[in-house]
Amino acid sequence: MTKKLRIVHCFRSPVGGIFRHVRDLAQAQAAAGHLVGIVCDSTTGGAFEERLFEEVKPSLALGVSRTPMQRHIGLGDIGAAMRAYTIIKELQPDVLHGHGAKGGVYSRMFGSVLRVFRYRVARLYTAHGGSLHYDERTVTGKLFFGLERLMARFTDFTLFVSEYERATYRRKVGAPNGPGGLVYNGLREAEFERIAAAQGAADFLYVGMMRDLKGPDLFIDALAGVEKRLGREVTAVMVGDGDQMARYQAQAARLGLEQRVRFIAPMPARQAFALAGIVVVPSRAEAMPYIVLEALAAGKTMVATAVGGIPEIFGEGSPALVRPDAGELAERMAQALADPAAFARQMPDAAALKARFGADAMAEKIEHAYLVAMER
């Protein structure tokens, strides 16, 4: 083992792919003998996320510290930033790793302040999509990318979870100021065990946050389109939560689907996979979504949008990929449901997935990035 490091992961919202990434990474680092802690928002997440925190807490020597963090920049940021800085200073990290837009700003800003007081802190940043989803032509985009360019000066190592993310960063922000590298998200060995659909399972499954960026509205519209194409009713399960949940439920009712679409609270992805035969990821934007990796590793048949790093998982030109358009989704979903066996044969090879997207390889490469950052 290398030197025992004090590692603090900072991010805003403990939901979705970033939270999954940090949990896996923190547990792998703790297993390697490092002292690891998490600092994140206290106002987001629910009972499901609390259970996940309870699972990971015993392995974290530096604990889980939660404090309010605003999603957007505002006056409330000043008090929130001071509270977060006080927590991080007390943890005395050797490595401060920020994830997402807010976590990236906090980690690099606080790490730089700590250096003024003679702390030796390596400042790392993983975007996970984050502010990179903004349009650089808009006022908001210009603001965020200007902030990204400023913060790049205070970054010792920039990590990317997909080639798409790295290329987008270069195009919208510029070349990283210092070393950087690509490290794909990774899955644990047990996650490559296949999961069959349960008796009476639905036709389609959506798992994710209930917000337009993830495309639940496209999924619901596509379900209505599938019924028209096949001339029969289809069923679906939607697993997740979010502020816009009521709007999606109303959309399903408006399309006459309320009896055939079940909305279920968040649950572990592998538990959800048994609820339907075909998994659909209708996102409008992504970096490197865990749900795609998890579903393919579990042997599920999928239809997904060709956004972000998703084509890097399936391979360019995969018949499973479509544009984030309800009509195209409906057409591909109808094909998959009409001949499930033929569509399943077009999924990526399981052995190749396992070789590229393993959790141990992810943790090892990120630890190397920490050592390079500390040497700087």
Taking only the tens place, the pLDDT of each residue in 294-328 is: 999 999 999 999 999 999 999 988 999 999 999 99
**Residue type present at position 143:** L
Q: What is the DSSP letter of 63?
A: E
Q: Are residues 180 and 219 in the same domain?
A: no
Q: What angle do CA 207, 315, 308 make, to 5 degrees?
A: 55
Q: Render pLDDT for 145-183 as a digit per residue (tens, 0 to 9).
A: 999 999 999 999 999 999 999 999 999 999 998 899 999
Q: Are residues 24 and 128 in the same domain?
A: yes
Q: What is the DSSP letter of 91?
A: H
Does the pLDDT of residue 70 top 90, yes or no?
Answer: no
Q: Are residues 59 and 89 in the same domain?
A: yes
Q: Residues 6 or more apart from 359 whose CB is under 8 A from it?
A: 24, 28, 186, 187, 188
Whether 114 maps to a domain, the answer reads yes
* Contact assessment for residue 15 and residue 49, using Cβ atoms and an 8 Å cutoff: yes
Q: Are residues 173 and 243 in the same domain?
A: no
Q: Are residues 168 and 238 in the same domain?
A: no
Q: Are residues 127 and 276 in the same domain?
A: no
Q: Are residues 224 and 146 in the same domain?
A: no
Whether 136 maps to a domain, the answer reads yes
Q: Are residues 131 and 72 in the same domain?
A: yes
CA distance linking residue 9 with residue 24, whole number of Å: 12
Q: Which pair of tokens denotes residue 312?
A: 């890097």
Q: Render pLDDT for 206-223 as a digit per residue (tens, 0 to 9).
A: 999 999 999 999 999 999
Whether 48 maps to a domain, the answer reads yes
Q: Residues 6 or more apart from 47 whose CB is under 8 A from it?
A: none
* SS3 label, residue 188: coil
CA distance linking residue 187 with residue 344, whole number of Å: 21
* pLDDT value of position 1: 46
The residue range of the domain holding 296 is 190-356
* pLDDT value of position 74: 63
Diameter over CA atoms, the chain: 70
CA distance linking residue 8 with residue 328, whole number of Å: 43
Whether 321 maps to a domain, the answer reads yes
Whether 95 maps to a domain, the answer reads yes
Q: Are residues 266 and 338 in the same domain?
A: yes
Neighbouring C-beta atoms of residue 368, cutoff 10 Å:
14
CA distance linking residue 210 with residue 286, whole number of Å: 14
Q: Are residues 291 and 163 in the same domain?
A: no
Angle between helices 100-116 and 139-152 (to 10 degrees): 40
Q: Are residues 173 and 246 in the same domain?
A: no
- What is the Rg, in whole angstroms, of the alpha carbon atoms belonging to the chain? 21
* pLDDT value of position 134: 87
Determine the length of the chain.
376
Tell me what the mean pLDDT of segment 221-242 comes to.
97
CA distance linking residue 219 with residue 209, whole number of Å: 13
Here the CATH number for the domain that contains residue 215 is 3.40.50.2000
* Residue 60 C-alpha from the chain's centroid: 21
Neighbouring C-beta atoms of residue 162, cutoff 10 Å:
25
Strand partners, 40: 66
Neighbouring C-beta atoms of residue 175, cutoff 10 Å:
10
- pLDDT confidence bin for 130, thresholds 50/70/90: confident
Whether 1 maps to a domain, the answer reads no
Number of separate domains in the chain: 2
Whether 366 maps to a domain, the answer reads yes
Q: Are residues 27 and 87 in the same domain?
A: yes
Q: Render pLDDT for 251-307 as a digit per residue (tens, 0 to 9).
A: 999 999 999 999 999 999 999 999 999 999 999 999 999 999 999 999 999 999 999
Classify 235 in phi/psi space as left (phi over 0), alpha (psi -120 to 50) or beta: beta
* pLDDT value of position 230: 98
CA distance linking residue 122 with residue 97, whole number of Å: 8
